[in-house]
Structure 1
């Protein structure tokens, strides 16, 4: 029984990761047989993983087919409101509880990510690592769990806001400001810096969506 559960977990994780990295974008149809072949497993764990993703609103029905869900304008706004508050809280707690080693890792991430400015997709992956590190530095497991749910929903965005011209440089400067506040143990400044960072990301995404729809 334990082996079956592990297989189910693997199928779920693999499909979720494929959505997260953009192999399956909003609107993409997911077919059991194709996924089973891709991941080298039987269709049963794939089917159960798809059912789980559907109940979590990561997938939706298009007739008899399951497709990757997309977020409408209101859902996007709601997601960013929650994300800003929870991420801000993580930064506030990190300023109080992060070990010196954790702060140094955050600073090194900001410096290393400067090399990725010409590659928006690589910068997006690095951005997720940076935010995850702040979540962990909060030392609050319940907050980390909630942020994992939020970032899972972020995978339903078809593109990264870091692809917008000049956004990469701006985002890294905002990351640096966040780390500085955490380094200084200033929880309020860290909270405000991270909230402002998420607000800017939301504004950039709205502009991208408006341009795509024009």
Structure 2
């Protein structure tokens, strides 16, 4: 049987997943030969995948090297502004279009995620799944695509806001309010609940960055 060679799209997905899962962190060098060995693909699809990631600002040039990009203060603010608006729209559309099964899944997710409070890494992964489920429940493919790119860019932040003391428990309460509004078909309340959720996460992130700068100084 002839084995199908991985395509540039496969290589792109593999590198993206490695960044998203923290295998490669902001500032880490991405070397074609190393990536080819790790993923068992040739250097050509790796090169093409890196070029695609660079056009999406997920990879940046550092001299002659390519590194996982990082976000400065202004970029982080810009990202959260866009995320707040798009996530709010997703919640509004989910309240309008989500079917009973999708709402049931959202409810099950928030209940299960209560057990993860105190484990920021696991809660962060669950948080991504929860938000992605809302995106899908919006039933708008173009919005899902844009939010997918936004969430990829979130991986360029070195820490999760859920690591802040008490944030996990508060975020869970916010998630439950979002699901309740979606289940009630209250579009305005769902949009506001999710936008407020993102705003609190952003404020938490700003405080984390301020604390880090203080420790460095």
TM-score class, shorter-chain normalisation, is over 0.9
Deviation at residue 51 of structure 1 after TM alignment? 1.1
Please give the residue correspondences for 1:1-214 in structure 2 after superposition, counting only pairs within 5 Å.
7-214=7-214
Cα distance, 1:54 vs structure 2: 1.0
- What 5-or-longer segments of structure 2 have no aligned partner? none
In structure 2, what is the Cα distance between the partners aligned to 1:178 and 1:58?
Answer: 29
Q: Match of 2:7, SS? A: helix
Q: TM-score, normalised by structure 2?
A: 0.95
What is the CA RMSD across the aligned residues, in angstroms?
A: 1.0
CA apart distance, 1:55: 1.4
Question: Take 1:51 and 1:89, find their aligned partners in 2: how far apart are those partners?
Answer: 31
Q: Which moved more, 1:169-178 or 1:70-79?
A: 70-79
Q: Distance in 2 between matches of 1:141 and 1:28?
A: 32
**TM value normalised by structure 1:** 0.96
CA drift of 1:202 comes to: 0.3
Unaligned runs of 5+ in 1: none
**C-alpha offsets along residues 111-148 of structure 1, whole Å, 9 cap, x if unaligned?**
00011112111110000000000000001111111111
CA distance in 1, matches of 2:138, 2:61: 37
Deviations along 1:26-51, whole A, 9 cap, x unmatched? 11001111111110111111111111
The 4+ residue runs of structure 1 with deviation greater than 2 A are: none
Shift of residue 56, structure 1, vs aligned partner: 1.2
Q: For 1:25 and 1:205, how far apart are their aligned partners in 2?
A: 17
The whole-number CA distance in structure 2 between the counterparts of 1:122 and 1:35 is 26
Deviations 1:52-100 (A, max 9, x none): 1111111111111101111111111111011000000000010011001
